[in-house]
Each structure stands twice: as C-alpha cells, then as structure tokens.
Structure 1
C-alpha cells in the first residue's frame, strides 16, 4: 500500500507503520462516543471547599514547597488568527461605501466593529499601533477621525504594521498599566513567580511554542526577565518545546485513502493539543500547573488565582499522600487484612470517585489487591471547575471506562452522542465546565516519573471534515490533553471562582472589565 517514498516520509516524521495503520483504521470505523453515567455536580464528583478548608489546603501546599519541584506548563503554540477573525473579515470585505458606513454606525453591540473603533484607545496595544503608524509617516488619531478603518486594521493585523494576526497570542499586548503594558506571556511569568516558585526562589515555566515563534518569545523574555525577577524576588527558568512531528496525523480523502499532495507525498496535519502529552512527558517536576496562554488577568485580579492554585495543589498533596501510603502497604505487605483492603476500596470509591466494575471479585484478595494497585498507581490531577454560564469548554462527568469501571472525566460536547436522548439529558444537566485549570502529580510513590502516554485512552480521538487546495478531506485529532490523553489518571474536581477564568478568544474580550486596569 505504501511506496518507498511514503515509508521515507514516515521515517522522517518518526511515525511507524503500525501507527499509520491504526489511524487509517480509526478513519474507517470512527471513534466511539463516551458513555456518560451522570454529570459531576457539587458533592457528587465536584468538591466545594469552604473558606476554612481553603486556608488549610494553602497551608499544606506552603508547608511542602521546600521539598517540591514546581513547574508551570503553558500551551502557547497557537497563532492569534482566530482571535482577529472578525477584524480580518471586515478588512477583506469592507468597501468604504456610505451604506456600509451607516450600517457600521447602527450596529453598536459589544462585539461589533463600531465598538472596536469606538474603544480602540482602550486596547493595551494602542500605543504600539500609534507608534508603528507614526513610523509610516501617518497619524493614528487623524486616521480614526477620517474613518480610515481598513488602513488602521492593515497596520494592526498585517506585516505592514504590528502583524498581530500572525503572532502567537502569548506575544500580544493584553493589559495596560500606568507606565507600561504586558503581553499574555509576561502575565504568565508574573503568575509563575507568585505561586510556582520553590524555596530557593526558582520559578520554572515551560511553554509549547511554534518553531517560528520561539525566538520572538526569547526576545520578549530578555527585555523583561530582570525586571520581573527583581520585583517578585525570584529567578525565572523558562523552557520551550515544539509539538513533535511524530504526533502529526495522516489525512485521508472521502474514501478513507491517504490524501496526497500534488507531488505525491501524503498530507499530515497537527494532531491537536492532545499531542502535547508528549511534551509534558519530557518534563520533570513534583507538581505541574497547567493553564492556557490566554486565560490571564491584570495584577488587580490575580489574588484569587494565586490563592486557588495553592488550594488545588494542597488538595493534590493531601490525596496523593493517602495514595502513596496505600501503595506502600500493597507493595510490602503480603498479608493485608480484608478490613484494610475494604478501606482502600472505599477510598477509591468515595474520595477518588472510581466505581469498581461489576465483574470485580471483591472477595478474592489477590484480584482486589491487583485492581487497587492498578488504580492507585497512576498520575493524579486536580481540575478546577467553574460554574457553567455559557462559556465553551469541556465538562465534568461520571463516565464508563473500557474496563467497566466508572470514573470522573473531562468530556467535550463532540464526544457525546446527542442523538441519544439519555446522553443528551445528562449533558444538559451539567452545571460546571473545565477552564483548563489543572494541577498534576506526575511521579509515582518511589519518585519516578510516570510514562504518561501509557495512560491515554486512544479511543477518544476526533475526526473532522477539512479541505486542502479546494479538495475535501478528513482530519484526525488525537485524544485531547485534558480529555482522553489524561483519561486513565486519578482525577479530582474542585469548584473554583469564576473570576479565575477570563480567556481571550476574540479581540473583543480584551475590552471586558476583567482585562482592564480601572
């Protein structure tokens, strides 16, 4: 089926034939939908931690910091193209006629071009835009007065000016302060120095970036690193990695045959954020904080984020300590009492929310010990959950697993069979969603790193319809980083305040009060 040229292409991308064959098979059979049992809600899968307990968990984290290596992991490889799509659409279609101008004036909603130009001075990038316009011998204020909308957008979005539509989100100016403005990247550096700093003052942050953008991140860091380190009394250790080409997935045509370019080579596409489990797997730390690049706020609102990062880390450490103690008993004691085994099973079901499969022979001590060890000896994550007020994001559910057990999972809407009335009803009863706010423990009881790809549920991928050079094709995304890629982790859900979730999906989000220093 594959030529020598194909095989050379696979070897260059470090993808083996078996993986290619599995992907082709998945295109033909599709991925099964998740089997939801019920939504995870407060006191039924989601912990709601009172103020007194919050203080205790913060103390747990603070007490352990001296013995821990901490790291913040930020997926930051995406370009800002989608963030500026409404502006690009306007730039490409606006003809500057009187009718269009009147239409623009009449449409004054929060996410309209009228609002963008009316409030353009409120954006943190306004100063940079004015400077680059001036360098081109123009005056931004006069351009605004003359309604030169297309010229302004060209200076903002394209290489004629700031080139914002082609930069990564992390390098866009998000927030304006009295004497300076900060990019999203810089806001993450500030966060890292405030809650991911060890007792020596070292603050580690790792970003996954596009190879084309790495140098830009390094340049930005060089300009601000010393200032941040002095202000927040710490030393930044910043690392970068790119998504591996070995995680790209093969594309197929409508007949599920490999899609070929005009030169005969096979088309591969990036495997989605689930591919980043490979990047995470190469990192080494006791606790890893994971947060998206665009979920960031100015200093005046960072307090709750700092607090709840420490609360979630404290929860992880407490539960992990129980897990490690149980694993030591399972490994060292050959004569464990039935009462002790029952206690461990109760911990699994009541604390870790893992319901045993119906075929588990609880009365058989050896089988029960094997089951307990398998379920306990896994990476652990604590996931912040915010109340669902209509924002997009994966939801928390109780879901059936391949081994017959039931556990907590973060599941996207696309993974749910909405044609099934019962499954749709479960989806509609969901009360919370995951804002990509995760604290991870990736070492085992002996201090060794887990091999994270071993805990992926490969049946949770996603197939979508795309096009290339005008031809239809099917593309495959790998199991999502916080979905199927972490499916076989021990998982805890904890409610966090909505104020800790303030993503920037479109440029208009930067006008929200949460992203302004008022």
Structure 2
C-alpha cells in the first residue's frame, strides 16, 4: 500500500509525528489480519489466581499502611469517553417516537425496548430527577397539562438536549451518578473519595485523568472544589491515531481527499501512563464507582498495593544479588527460579538447567527486570469483556495475560472451550510498579506486544470501514509485564455502562453493603 501514499499523505504523517513504518505495519495488519492469541487454559484459583484468607489480607493491608509513606502513589483513570452509549436507547426513542400518535407502551411493544420501560419505572430514583423535572417544567410550556406520555417524552428530551444537562454529549466523569446528603455526586468525586487511602501526611492526594481536551473545563469545575487533591490531566496523543481502509483494503479517504485517522483505542494510553512519574500507580475505569462500597474498595486497594510492595521488594533483592554473580550459589539461583515460577508466574524453560551459569543469570535478570502489575479479578458473572488466561507464545513459553474475546479465534472449538471454562473476569482493578530496582522509571513502550492489536469493523459517514486499534492498555500493551492475579469480591466492581445501571443497588443510597 505504500505506493498509494501521496506527497500530501506523507506531509500529514509528518505533521502528526507518525512514522511511516508504523503506518505501513498497521496497514499490513488490516490487509492480512492479526494472528489470534493462543489460549492454553483459563487462569483459575491456585493456577494463576491467588485466593487469600482473612489473615493474609490483613498482613498485606498492614504492610501497605506501613510502607505507603515511602512511595509516590497516584491513580490513573481513563476518562475521555463520552457517555453517548449510556443513553443510546433513549436517543433512539427521541428520534423514533411518534409523539401524539402512539403511547410509550406502544413504542416499547413495537421496538421491544425493555430498557426504556426500566428507565421510566426507575425515573424517580435517579440522583438528578428533581433537577430534571424542574428544568423540564421551565422549558416546556403547559407541561403539567400534557398527557403522561408527552411529559415523559419531554423529560427525556430535556435530559439529552437541554444545555443544562446534555448528558449524551458529556463525558461519564462529570455526570451525576449518586446522591449524597442532598447533593449530586459525580464519578470524579467518587474517585477522589476513594483515593484518600494512599494520601500521605501533609501531602495532597494525586489522581491523573486522561480526558478529551474539549471537556477539560468540566473536569476543572469539579476539581476546583477539592483544593487538597492534586488532579492532573492528559490527552490521547494524535501520534497514536491509526488509518482505516475500505473492506477491499483500499485506503479510506474523506471527501476532501485526506486520509481518515481515528483514535487507536485505549491501548494508546500506555503513552500517557508512561509519562507518570509515580512509583506506584492504581488503574481503574471512570465508571467503576459505588455509592456504598467505598470501605470495601479501599480494603482491597490496600490489599493489592501490599502484594505489589512485598513482591517488588523481593524482586529488587534478587536483582541486587544477580548483580554479584561470584557470590551466587546454586541454592540462591534455585530460590530465584522458584520465585519467578510461583510468585511471578514466569516458569523458566525446560532447557534452562542445561545452560551455563552466566546465561542463567542473564535469563533471570530479563524475567525480573520488568514493570509489575497486580490485578484484581472477580468471579465471572457473564459481564462482557476480558478475562485472565494462560497464553502460549511463539517461543513456547507461557504467561498470564488479560485477553479480550476479539483476540481469540472463535472459529476454533478448542479455543472456544478454553473461553467457556473461564471462571473470572477482569474488572480493571490494577496496581502497577513502574520503577526498577535502581529507582529508574521503566520505558513502558518496551514491554508492548505490538502484534496484539485489533482489527475492527466500523462505519464512517454511512460507509463500512476496517480499522486498526492498538494493543489494549491492560492487554497487549502490558503483555511483557510481570503479572499477578488476585481474586477480589464482586462488590468492588460496579460499572455504569447504561443509564439504567444507576438503578442497581450499589448505586442507590438506600442500599447498605
């Protein structure tokens, strides 16, 4: 495809600081496809996933509380996504409802839109209900005299389109998810409330949000209410945008002849994470917050952090020993091997013991000298998304990975059987150690599996396109990290994918966890 690039195309790559070879490789993936991941088996309890008893939990929590003063800790929250998907069924209702010619019940029967029925039944339980009703009454003349179906139509339309609300065009982060003490509370505020557990004496709590530049003022309006919290922001870089092609692999161009770039997916955020200077970074999605379970969330955040700190201390100790090979006994080498296998889930090859001591030391250094992630895993309840698996690589080695269904060959019965045996789900509850034993920050781009991206079918201006998305942030972008999975309870996982999720008990004030 390289010969199809024009001088203006090359100029555009240069303006966006996108190397030509990167574009060529992405177009190769679009044309030839991406090799599917080779699943060996799901990670399960005692085979890739740790299950801790209460005394073990308390040990790690105590360790975290004792050690946190020695670390620069922050939270990294991907928060750039608009809330449009949350309101998809309501937008379709506004566009399709025959106002004055049919009832809402008739619409529900016609479209089979059960979500609308649930929304209407639960309307009074949304935190913004009273504000929404008052605004609708002010903006719609004779509101109280209208029929019930018309009133409900105008309530929904106000929520979606009135400038005061405009919910479907705002980021999730700034929407009112909860109601506390008579005030509406956004996900930003809930993340701040949760993050007090790692605050150090006389220092501000640090949280980093990845956002869209156009919405920064909305974040700042909320952030300004919390002067004791250090909030920072970054945007997804244009250099991570990718090209698209027609279904027949021709370059897709806009009407003005320019190539069409689209965001490369959440895997692009590895570049943003790479800029964070903290020692320890928690990663959690913007919509995974709870009205009631903050204590439980803090408990398990400390637990994951304690495991990371203990593991990292041992890794650093072993790396220092490996720097002095003359003093290394075979017993110490075997101890390190056992640690790599049992704690880091990095078994050495069957040929490892045949090699000379110098090679063994070098191989162990390569295993240990990686960023570390400790990931909470919840029991699989049928939620869409990735899960924990043992994966086989081209060199025959195996490692723990978080795998999305789009990475799997779903035409292969053996691979489908592995997926169907999955016991746990990835809620994106991760704590990362980003520095090596010398206190130097890892370059995270050196640990990406660049062959683990996605080819997806999308639509642009009514035309079908094939698009390339980068290896996911906690998938291929962290493929070469050292990984530890730990079971955490479902109470820590409370995502809001549609507006109706706010009606669940974990988001309602009357629920006590």
Shorter-chain TM-score range: over 0.9
Mean CA deviation greater in 26-35 or 374-383: 26-35
Q: Please give the TM-score of this superposition, normalised by the length of structure 1.
A: 0.94
1:72 aligned partner: 75
> How far off is 1:121 after superposition?
1.6
1:219 aligned partner: 221
For residues 117 and 44 of structure 1, the distance between their equivalents in structure 2, rounded to whole angstroms, comes to 45
Structure 1 counterpart of 2:258, from 265, 277, 286: 265
2:88 is aligned with 1:85: yes
1:206 aligned partner: 208
> How far off is 1:106 after superposition?
6.9
Deviations 1:20-41 (A, max 9, x none): 1111111122111111111100
CA 139–401 in structure 1, closer or farther in 2 if over 3 Å, else same? farther
> How far off is 1:402 after superposition?
3.8
1:441 aligned partner: 433
Mean CA deviation greater in 16-25 or 271-280: 16-25
For the 8 Å contact 2:173–2:286, the answer to whether it is kept is yes
Between the two proteins, the alignment pairs up a number of residues equal to: 507
Structure 1 counterpart of 2:158, from 149, 155, 158: 155
2:367 is aligned with 1:346: no
Map residues 406-485 of structure 1 onto 2, 5 A cutoff: 406-485=398-477
- Aligned Cα root-mean-square deviation (Å): 2.0
For the 8 Å contact 2:99–2:150, the answer to whether it is kept is no
> How far off is 1:133 after superposition?
2.3
Mean CA deviation greater in 483-492 or 336-345: 336-345
1:232 aligned partner: none
CA 150–354 in structure 1, closer or farther in 2 if over 3 Å, else same? same
Map residues 57-68 of structure 1 onto 2, 5 A cutoff: 57-68=60-71
> How far off is 1:225 after superposition?
1.3
2:274 is aligned with 1:281: yes
Structure 1 counterpart of 2:390, from 380, 383, 398: 398
1:243 aligned partner: 236
1:42 aligned partner: 45
> How far off is 1:99 after superposition?
5.2
2:293 is aligned with 1:301: yes
2:246 aligned partner: 253
For residues 270 and 122 of structure 2, the distance between their equivalents in structure 1, rounded to whole angstroms, comes to 40
For residues 10 and 335 of structure 2, the distance between their equivalents in structure 1, rounded to whole angstroms, comes to 53
> How far off is 1:287 after superposition?
0.8
Structure 1 counterpart of 2:59, from 56, 60, 65: 56
Deviations 1:319-348 (A, max 9, x none): 111111111111233342222212111111
Give SS of 1:514's match: helix
Mean CA deviation greater in 461-470 or 492-501: 461-470
Mean CA deviation greater in 139-148 or 344-353: 139-148
For residues 42 and 146 of structure 2, the distance between their equivalents in structure 1, rounded to whole angstroms, comes to 52
Structure 2 spans left out of the alignment, 5+ residues: none
> How far off is 1:96 after superposition?
3.3
Deviations 1:391-430 (A, max 9, x none): 1221101111244321110001111112222211111111
2:499 aligned partner: 507
For the 8 Å contact 2:97–2:107, the answer to whether it is kept is no
Deviations 1:114-166 (A, max 9, x none): 23123212101213323432442658776684542332221101145510000
Give SS of 1:494's match: strand
For residues 49 and 109 of structure 1, the distance between their equivalents in structure 2, rounded to whole angstroms, comes to 44
Give SS of 1:297's match: coil
2:188 aligned partner: 185
Give SS of 1:476's match: strand
For the 8 Å contact 1:465–1:473, the answer to whether it is kept is yes
2:375 is aligned with 1:383: yes
